[in-house]
């Protein structure tokens, strides 16, 4: 009788170990699901935030152009203050400008070449930035527009 009882006891222990393993796997799966759901939710929030910020980009571009062309000093100073506030607001929300200086190496990931022209800065170098680009959390959402030397 003891051998039969020992076999049943051993079998019950094996089943218990199996069920504990199943429970641990289920808990791990649930934990992974929660982490994945949180990640997807964060990605959606960032996508929606970037989408709403993109709507401001046209206004931001217009403001940058206005600063370049205004000749009245008081008006220009006022526009520069608004531009700084706008830039600070965008930066707080994770947006960073992409701007190239004359002579910088052209980077097709960060910029769009509007034209290729003969220039002394050297082949493949940026001549000037026509429009500043923007990155949101290190992802390009609007490439800079530049003229490039050929």
pLDDT digits (tens, 9 = 90+) for 85-111: 988 888 887 888 898 999 999 999 999
100 SS3 class: coil
- Asked, for residue 16, whether it belongs to a domain, the answer is no
The model scores a pTM over 0.85: no
User: 76-106 in b/e burial notation, b at 16+ Cβ within 10 A?
Assistant: eeebeeeeeeebeebeeeebebbbbeeebeb
Distance, CA of 7 to CA of 27 (rounded, Å): 30
CATH number, position 150: 2.30.22.10
For residue 131, being part of any structural domain is answered with yes
Q: Which domain holds residue 140?
A: 95-150
pLDDT tens, residue by residue, 20-77 = 999 999 999 999 999 999 999 988 887 777 777 777 777 888 888 888 899 999 999 9
Between CA 129 and CA 142 the distance in angstroms is: 13
| Residue at 146 is within a domain | yes
Strand runs (DSSP E) across the chain, as ranges?
Answer: 95-98, 111-117, 126-131, 133-136, 139-142, 144-149
Number of domains in the chain: 1
């Amino acid at each position: 009788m003891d051998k039969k009882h020992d076999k049943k006891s051993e079998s019950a222990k094996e089943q218990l170990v199996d069920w504990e393993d199943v429970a641990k796997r289920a808990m791990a799966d649930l934990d992974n699901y929660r982490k994945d759901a949180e990640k997807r939710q964060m990605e959606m929030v960032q996508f929606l935030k970037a989408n709403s910020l993109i709507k401001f980009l046209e206004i931001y571009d217009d403001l940058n152009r206005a600063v370049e062309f205004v000749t009245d000093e008081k008006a220009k100073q006022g526009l520069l203050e608004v531009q700084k506030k706008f830039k600070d607001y965008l930066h707080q929300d994770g947006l960073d400008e992409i701007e190239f200086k004359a002579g910088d190496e052209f980077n097709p990931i960060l910029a769009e070449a509007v034209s290729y022209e003969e220039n002394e800065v050297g082949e493949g170098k940026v001549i000037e930035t026509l429009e500043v680009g923007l990155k949101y959390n290190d992802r390009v959402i609007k490439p800079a527009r530049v003229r490039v030397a050929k």
